[in-house]
Structure 1
């Protein structure tokens, strides 16, 4: 289970404060998923727009439940002025707003949402444990149970997205990292021919580094990458940015789990090269 980076700052002392915290957490999630939906709309990914809008709808329903509860308890909507501290670390888009859109999938989005619900559940269990008021402990436990219900729903969505992704993959051999590096070099060579100034020399250097990694991988591969076993994400070969990010993910994975230190260090060096290449590509298109 994903853990909070820190426990809640202080014990909750009133129902008004508890409901204000719940309102703020749900609104943060709505805002986060709404931004991701807008980003995917700009990137022409209607499939992912639908996923994030669905998550917005889920969180909006949760927010409505908090508002109704507050109206029953106090006769008014939650008041954010009752917040003595801001709840933190319960929502994280895990970089979904900055990674290449080609690498984002429904499965990855629902997996992120599952981890957010896990953090919210842990948050409320901490709140329940910290209070010495029965009424507040029961309310926090109720919020934790609701988060568990949300978690179960999103886990089902994640599972369905996983099976859909597996079913949609063509039957083909996974690509080799050496082939992907060679394709990256070709992209960099092609775009270097369209540029002028110091960027040209830098792109040529990065293309050569990609070719050297390709040669090294052909001679001494790391082995099959689990990130490639289901094939490539759609259109990832068409642009150097997404391709570079995919290579980075693969190298970081190898750098953590290869059995010997020499191989892990080699994978980490390749990852550093991919980071350098990705940073250049991002700066070039800004």
Structure 2
């Protein structure tokens, strides 16, 4: 079954077919679809970026059809493929023979479009006596190209001047170069560590997460300074709302407890024993 017979097409095939089907040549397109479905397109070949086809019409001899788009320059293709290589998902999909969903972004970023904007962007010729373009023979070839795009998305790139092999070879080289540069930078970073007399490679004991907060060695008292703050917890809390005759006595008692606990905490922190 041909792609133009079914409703669901790959997005890039739909993009290509839509340009033709939005034209005003409705009856001509119907005959073109019939020609494509009935096998009237006898052959489709590429001559560089140009499509050469033979279409059997009502005459005994098949008509000669040519179709092409303006190819991108080598410089434009270099920019496009370099942009593709910088998008890992694009590289992976293209190397797997798939057409990335947002591939048009790569061309737009370089001021280009992989698809023609109008039918006038397509240079088409047919040896039939019909002077209108597209004639039904050109339309049949156009539909057949949609089938080719479905089978191999890279065919649409060939219309712009680069074959599948050229694109994939360049992508692989760029990806290899990127990986080698990354490995070189990593190696340089490792070898740039300071070395010389007095340096040694010490074994590193892996830290267990459950031991992270444990420290069993005494603190060096010359490196630790523990000083009381200006306000104690009791100062911050203020007086306790008790009967006036007992409030002062309770506050004095709590102050004594606070000082005792603070002293014991200090001794414990310094790992000292009280004399």
Question: Greater RCO between the two (CA within 8 Å, min separation 6)?
Answer: 2
Identify the TM-score tier after normalising by the shorter chain.
under 0.3
TM-score under structure 1 normalisation? Answer: 0.23
Which is greater in Rg? 2
In proportion to residue count, which structure has more strand? 2
TM-score under structure 2 normalisation? Answer: 0.24
